[in-house]
């Protein structure tokens, strides 16, 4: 009965489940991970561009300059037969030839090394730069000394001016005290106010100015003279304020007819004298400020001359060191690349015939401006050609003269050779995709070829011999980093690599990072 009960079967299922889970856990501990791998191989790689085009009958081949400019010379006429490689026209080459010659001269000079005459010239330039630097240093000292002397002389004249102004302030003080003792000895509000003005705005500031002036005359230092200037200036201003206050008091009803006209006249005269002193003092202070600014500008200019002289000296020394150093491979390689680029730029301004043929049309005349998108010549080709549109992603890979294999759909076992005859620099937009028109010349004669036949073309762009390579799918990317997962002793190790040619069949050239026969992990199976 128990075996038929529901509880029995529940317990049995639970026990079996636990046993199976435990058995699976124990067996999984002994499973070794499996990987799908591939080894780094060595071999030859090739990069091609695969396109389809149509066979064209004998018609005009358009020839373009690869740069814009003024047509300098046209060497052929319409109806003239030309051979492959004949120069047909050129733009003005004066500047381009000059650049080629200069690049050649630089390379030859670097290969030959430096001459004794060049070394001597370089040493003389260093010597001249050293003299200029020392002269600039000496000039800075002279400018500083002259600035100090000019300022010292200016401040020496300041003491005479301050002495003269102090005497005038002292005379004003004496006059003010006489005026006070004569008319303002009472206890009225006006009397007390006048007494305070004379004490606090004339007498006390004058005494402070006297003390600072005596110190400046004793030390003759610029800082003490500046302090005396400040004190005298302050005393002059407060004295003028006090005299103006006394003047106003003397004009009110109480004193108007009491103070004698001679005192009033003397009051005006003293105020005028002190005002003139203030003008002289302000003018002197402006002169000093201007002199200091001029001195600062002169010193800064002299310092700048030193910096420029030192920079030139260091440049001459660096040039000399570079001159006498043995030519490095990298320098020679750079100069060769400059020469090659100069030649390439010159060649872009020359049209050569890519085929044997007849010039059927010339679209421009000498001295006319022509752009890269304007054909200059139309040439009748005696051979069949193929016109194809190559997308912008592939056109940068191909060059004039690149070889190609051709297979024709209409002819079995058709394996013909061709090469690129022209690349139109003007773009063509087809369904929002940028293409460039390319003409290929068929190099072999085959009577079976007919215009309009569809041709499958394989253009050989680049190749590498005896290099390491991997399938592209084995190479991982992370931002600018390229790496692979290498299986070593059962462990996966990430290694950074440097890649080269992106070849056909999804193969990628490996320049650095792994060795031949290294085992690369493609996928973890379990």
Using 50, 70 and 90 to split pLDDT, how confident is the model at 49? Answer: confident
Query: Can you point out the beta strands (E) in 246-303?
Result: none
| pLDDT band, residue 457 (cuts 50/70/90) | confident
CA distance 383 to 88: 19
Give bridge partners of residue 494 from the DSSP assignment.
485
Q: What stretches of 222-349 adopt beta strand conformation (E)?
A: none
DSSP codes joined into one string, 408-438: ETTSTT--EEEEEEEEEEEEEEETTEEEEEE
Q: Encode pLDDT of 516-525 as tens digits.
A: 888 888 887 7
> What pLDDT score does 19 carry?
57
Q: Looking at 60-64, 85-89, 141-145, which range is the least confident one? A: 60-64
- H helices of 184-260, in order, are 189-196, 204-219, 222-250, 253-256
Domain 36-55+383-526 has CATH 1.10.10.10: no
Residues 467-496: b if buried by 16+ CB within 10 A, e if exposed: bbbbeeebeeeeeeebebbbeeeeeeeeee
Q: Using the predicted structure, report yes or no on whether residue 24 has a pLDDT greater than 60.
A: no
Map tokens 């600014």 to a residue: 293
Determine the pLDDT at residue 198.
93
**Spatial contact of 353 and 61, defined as CB atoms under 8 Å apart:** no
| The pLDDT of residue 205 is above 90 | yes
Reported for 430-438, long-range contacts at CB under 8 A and 24+ positions apart, including other chains, are: 430/389, 433/391, 433/392, 434/391, 434/392, 435/389, 435/390, 435/391, 435/392, 435/395, 436/389, 436/390, 436/392, 436/395, 437/387, 437/388, 437/389, 438/387, 438/388, 438/389, 438/390, 438/395, 438/398
Give the contacts of 364 (CB within 8 A, at least 6 positions apart): 71, 74, 370, 374, 376
Residue 240 CB contacts under 8 Å (≥ 6 apart), including other chains: 271, 274, 275, 278
Top CATH class, 59-90+355-382: mainly beta
| Least confident segment among 51-55, 243-247, 349-353 | 51-55
Q: Using CB atoms within 10 A of its CB, is residue 37 exposed (0-12), middle (13-18) or buried (19+)?
A: middle
Q: Per-residue pLDDT for 436 more than 70?
A: yes
**C-alpha to C-alpha distances, 495 to 12, 56, 342, 371, nearest whole angstrom:** 53, 51, 40, 50
Q: Is pLDDT at 499 greater than 60 in this prediction?
A: yes
Adjacent-strand bridge partners of 38? 520
For residue 268 the two structure tokens come to: 């005006």
pLDDT at 92: 86
CA–CA distances in Å: residue 367 to residues 73, 91, 96, 364: 8, 9, 17, 9
pLDDT at 18 over 60: yes
Distance in angstroms (rounded) separating the CA atoms of residues 422 and 353 = 10
Domain chopping of the chain, boundaries = 6-31, 36-55+383-526, 59-90+355-382, 127-318
pLDDT tens digits, 2-16:
455 666 667 666 767
pLDDT tens-digit readout, 260-314: 888 888 888 999 999 998 898 889 889 888 888 998 999 999 999 999 999 998 9
Cβ(173)–Cβ(235) below 8 Å:
no
Average pLDDT over residues 161-174: 92
- Residue pointed to by tokens 């010379």: 73
Select, from the ranges 193-207, 245-259, 309-323, 325-339, the one with the highest average predicted confidence (pLDDT).
Answer: 193-207
pTM: 0.39
Give CA–CA dist 152/256, Å, rounded: 50
Question: What pLDDT does 2 receive?
Answer: 47
Cα–Cα–Cα angle for 44, 48, 54, rounded to 5 degrees: 150
Question: What are the pLDDT digits (tens) for 93-128?
Answer: 888 888 888 888 877 877 766 677 878 888 889 999
461: number of Cβ within 10 Å: 20
Rounded Cα distance, 170 and 53, in Å:
111
Average pLDDT over residues 194-214: 93
What is the pLDDT confidence band of residue 336, given thresholds at 50, 70 and 90? confident
Count of other CB atoms within 10 angstroms of residue 132: 17
What are 392's two structure tokens? 């912008």
The SS3 of residue 73 is strand
């Amino acid at each position: 009965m128990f075996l038929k009960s529901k509880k029995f079967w529940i317990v049995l299922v639970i026990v079996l489940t636990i046993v199976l889970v435990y058995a699976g856990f124990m067996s999984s501990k002994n499973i070794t991970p499996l990987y799908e791998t591939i080894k780094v191989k060595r071999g030859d790689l090739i990069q091609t561009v695969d396109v389809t085009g149509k066979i064209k009958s004998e018609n005009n081949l358009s020839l373009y300059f690869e740069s814009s400019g003024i047509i300098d010379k046209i060497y052929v006429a319409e109806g003239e037969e030309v051979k492959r490689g004949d120069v047909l026209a050129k733009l003005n080459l004066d500047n381009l030839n000059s650049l080629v010659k200069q690049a050649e001269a630089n390379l030859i000079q670097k290969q030959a090394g430096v001459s004794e005459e060049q070394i001597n010239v370089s040493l003389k330039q260093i010597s001249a730069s050293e003299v200029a630097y020392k002269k600039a240093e000496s000039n800075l000292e002279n400018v500083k000394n002259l600035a100090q002397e000019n300022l010292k002389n200016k401040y020496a004249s300041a003491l005479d001016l301050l002495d003269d102004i102090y005497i005038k302030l002292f005379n004003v003080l004496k006059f003010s005290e006489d005026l006070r003792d004569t008319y303002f000895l009472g206890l009225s509000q006006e009397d007390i106010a006048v007494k305070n003005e004379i004490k606090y705005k004339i007498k006390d500031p004058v005494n402070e100015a006297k003390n600072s002036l005596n110190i400046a005359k004793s030390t003759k230092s610029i800082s003490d003279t500046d302090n005396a200037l400040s004190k005298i200036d302050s005393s002059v201003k407060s004295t003028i304020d006090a005299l103006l206050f006394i003047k106003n008091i003397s004009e009110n009803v109480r004193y108007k007819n009491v103070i004698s006209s001679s005192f009033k006249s003397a009051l005006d005269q003293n105020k005028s004298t002190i005002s003139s002193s203030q003008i002289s003092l302000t003018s002197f202070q402006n002169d000093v400020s201007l002199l200091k600014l001029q001195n600062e500008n002169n010193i800064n200019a002299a310092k700048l001359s030193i910096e420029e002289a030192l920079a030139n000296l260091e440049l001459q020394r660096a040039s000399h060191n570079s001159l006498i150093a043995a030519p490095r491979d990298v320098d020679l390689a750079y100069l060769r690349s400059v020469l090659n680029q100069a030649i390439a730029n010159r060649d872009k301004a020359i049209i050569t015939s890519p085929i044997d043929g007849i010039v059927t049309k010339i679209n421009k005349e000498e001295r006319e401006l022509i752009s890269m998108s304007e054909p200059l010549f139309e040439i009748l080709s005696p051979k069949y050609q193929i016109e194809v549109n190559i997308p912008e992603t592939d056109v940068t890979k191909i060059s004039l003269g690149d070889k190609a294999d051709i297979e024709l759909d209409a002819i079995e076992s058709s394996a013909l050779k061709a090469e690129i005859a022209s690349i139109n620099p003007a773009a063509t937009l087809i369904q929002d995709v940028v293409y460039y028109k390319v003409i290929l010349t068929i190099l072999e004669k085959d009577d079976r070829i007919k215009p309009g036949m569809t041709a499958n073309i394989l253009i050989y762009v680049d190749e590498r011999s005896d290099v390491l390579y991997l399938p592209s799918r084995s190479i991982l990317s992370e931002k600018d980093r390229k790496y692979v997962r290498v299986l070593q002793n059962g462990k996966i190790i990430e290694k950074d690599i440097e890649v080269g040619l992106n070849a056909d069949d999804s193969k990628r050239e490996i320049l650095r990072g792994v060795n031949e026969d290294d085992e690369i992990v493609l996928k973890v199976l379990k």
